[in-house]
A = this chain, B = another copy of it.
């Protein structure tokens, strides 16, 4: 069974507890359940990690290629500031799907630039937790292409 890696970036551990009008009422645990269910339906094994640390995310991606076939990543705030994660995605060589809960293009000016999208296979943004579900589907397509 093929394996994919799902990465939640900074502050996503707070989901469901705060600002539910923006980020929805689901907790990260509930989202993870949905991700696992979707992956199972697509015959994929999934490992999910969350980290607020840029370096930890870089470590994880750097080690990913020996274990995983694809990455689904919501880089959250690091979308806009991390060249290190960009370089890690580029170096690891895995098909990578960038997902965002909210439509980052209708928010603050600085959220309109993604350092990751230039090296990701593609992006999915604005569909709330469905962004993850669509992202898992997209990863599945990319693996089987």
Interface positions of A (Cβ within 8 A of B) = 9-11, 13-14, 18-19, 51-56, 58-59, 62, 65, 76-78, 80-84, 86-88, 90-93, 103, 105-106, 108, 110-111, 114-115, 117-127, 130-131, 134, 137-138, 141-142
List B contacts of A14 (CB < 8 A): 62, 91-92
Task: Tell which of B84, B106, B118, B131 touches A76, judged by Cβ atoms closer than 8 Å.
Answer: B84
Task: Tell which of B106, B108, B134 touches A138, judged by Cβ atoms closer than 8 Å.
Answer: B134
Number of copies: 12
Q: Are B55 and A52 in contact (CB under 8 A)?
A: yes
List B contacts of A110 (CB < 8 A): 83, 115
Q: Are A127 and B141 in contact (CB under 8 A)?
A: yes
